[in-house]
Amino acid sequence: MKIVADENIPFARDAFSTLGEVQLISGRDATPAMFRDADLFFCRSVTKISRALLDGSRVRFVATATIGTDHVDLDYLRQRGTAFASAPGSNANSVAEYITASLLVLARRGGYALEGKTLGVVGVGNVGSRVVQKSQALGMRVLQNDPPLARQTRDPRFVPLDALFEADFITLHVPLSREGEDGTYHLADEAFLRRMKPGAAFLNSSRGRVMDGKAVGRALGDGHLSAAVLDVWEEEPVVDLPLLARVAIGTPHIAGYSFDGKVCATEMVYRAACQALGVAPTWDPASVMPPPQCPRLELNCAGRPEEDVLREAVLTVYDIEADDREFRAIPSDPSRHRAFFDRLRKLYPERREFHNTRLFVHGASPGLERRLAGLGFRLESPARSD
């Protein structure tokens, strides 16, 4: 059995070789010839799964090691009888940690506290729900908007989009959809951005085309928005350089790129393939996961503002500003953007999630300990730190 897999899927050869012969490829450079004699294909979001790519091949199973599926022609796969799987929720915690770090950086640069500020979350699925939890741990008031969930559950916590425009921050966590009453293409357009409170900040780590990038640039340029954090770009891997120059934090679609999240996605699509093939899974990622770079962190909390402690813990484990600095070295020539963008993603540092760090806090109140735990850290008694 021949298996083709994106080379950027962690442990792809280790996992998928238990099922057959593995060929690793650059997902952005996939061509029909690569799949003529392939049986299984494991991709990421840079590969467009379509008739043009797979017609004439013998591929019978396709899986994307991502939460989004807008790069996959699902109708075509159904028509040809090809089994499909994705990895919903695999990197949700990673994205929520990215948003947490972003908010803490914005607050430090702006000289204000997050506690008591209002965050509007658009899309409260796997990712958005974790953003809500962590933002509440930061002491923020959170407004939640999710029309499909609102109709399905009738839960009063879901408010209309109009209610979010009073927020100090709005963050998007929606799939890209061009059709239906819940279409999200250019959801954050000129009118949306102008309805945001003057001086508010805008964050997008979902899909580039759920925003109008030019409108974001104008709202930043004339001061209507105080800041923006963008992990996604309308024409990526080509990047709008004037927009990048104006945003507070810009990154190359890596919000969900924690090592834990990527390995979780590998395991999810591997197990889906095993189920489709009717074989028992034998690969266990726990046996190959490396130790975290920050396994232990000790903090003195006495006499310090709680938010400073939260910020130190978060930014020690995840230095989001380093990601921003790396990205700003992008060449001015758009023809070189793709290679630069893909290199940053391929060589992205091994970022581990907060739960891998044992946190010892001295002089912390029970409230601060709850907030740190709410962000995902494993708290241990300072008495046991020896």
Q: Name every residue whose Cβ is closer than 8 Å to that of residue 72 and which is 6 or more positions away in sequence.
A: 49, 62, 64, 84, 86
- Give me the catalytic one of 234, 236, 307, 353: 236
- Return d(Cα 367, Cα 212) in angstroms, integer: 40
- Give me the catalytic one of 44, 71, 173, 207: 207
Burial 16-49 (b: 16+ CB within 10 A, else e): beebeebebbebbebeeeebeebbbbbbbbbbeb
- Report whether 100 contacts 134 (CB < 8 A): yes
DSSP 287-304: GTPPPPS--EEEEE-TTS
**The tokens 């467009």 sit on which residue?**
48
Q: Does residue 224 have an active-site annotation?
A: no
Q: Does residue 384 have an active-site annotation?
A: no
Q: Does residue 380 have an active-site annotation?
A: no
**The tokens 């999240």 sit on which residue?**
261
- Give me the catalytic one of 71, 173, 253, 351: 253
Q: How many CA atoms lie within 13 A of 102 on its CB side?
A: 31
User: Which residues participate in catalysis according to the annotation?
Assistant: 207, 236, 253
